[in-house]
Amino acid sequence: MKILIYIIILFSLISPFKEISRETEFQDSTLTDALPAVENKAFKVGEKARYLVHYGRINAGYASYEIKNADRKLNDRDLLHIVGIGRSQGMLDLFFHVEDRYETYIDEEGIYPWLFIRDVHEGGYEIKQTYKFYHNKEIVETEKGEQFKVPFGVQDMISSAFYTRTIEMSHLKVGDTLSFMSFLDEELFPIMLKFVGREEIKIRSGKYRCMRFHPVIQSGRVFNTSEDLEIWLSDDENKLPILVKANILVGSVKVEITDYEGLSNPLSKVE
């Protein structure tokens, strides 16, 4: 189930939880140099989306996310607050209750994280993580006070999906690969997306023109082959995640968009 939630969060984004106190979570990074900016035409404050999760023929749960204005700045930099939620439903919920919350505070100009919060409840498995990113020092500090060396601009589990959407994709040719680094479970994790092509797909909410990718993954652990995970992004300026399919060792998972609002651009929906 952990890999299911990871798929949902990473390539789409993600019942309410109580708010977590954040009075001491932000710390001044004492930046001395100008930070780089990323051109972002893909998303803005107010964007929301909801996804239905299928496990085989079962409607197993949903994932949703929302982009908000943060309630504070960091070093006079504006922040976006992105909240993602994943939850089980139906028969699965009776046997394996999942109720997860993920949050990231990202630099609005640079699209990299300053703070990541993970609150996971999956059956008997629970985890709470808080990562503080000090990009000028190239360090991530965990809730345990441990520090890890990372490259500047490293992404977290949630910000990775949104950073991907800012990448210019109009020039992509079949076989091209997008790549960058993320920090997950106290280690660096390479994100690599191989471009497969452009196509129209039809799901319950309609027909969409999409760009299809194979995330480069390690086979043999959760997936049978390196191409058992596929993602479709809308073929427009939004690059909105529309569909994710995964063949895993114990079945198949499909995540498809059902609702959305507050998009920055017209969506490539055909019908």
Please state, in angstroms and rounded to a whole number, the distance separating the CA atoms of residues 62 and 159.
19
Residues of the chain with pLDDT under 70: 1-34, 92, 217-227, 248-250
pLDDT of residue 59: 82
Side-chain-facing half-sphere of 117: CA atoms under 13 Å: 17
Please state, in angstroms and rounded to a whole number, the distance separating the CA atoms of residues 116 and 129.
8
pLDDT of residue 28: 43
pLDDT of residue 54: 86
The DSSP bridge pattern shows strands 147-149 and 177-184 to be unpaired
Entry pTM: 0.85
DSSP assignment of 169-215 equals -TT--TT-EEEEEEEETTEEEEEEEEEEEEEEEEETTEEEEEEEEEE
CA distances from 8 to 2, 5, 97, 208 (A): 10, 5, 16, 19
Tell me the domain boundaries of the chain.
2-15+38-252
Please state, in angstroms and rounded to a whole number, the distance separating the CA atoms of residues 149 and 206.
44
Q: Is the dihedral of CA 243, 220, 156, 33 positive or negative?
A: negative
Using DSSP, state whether 230 is helix, strand or coil: strand
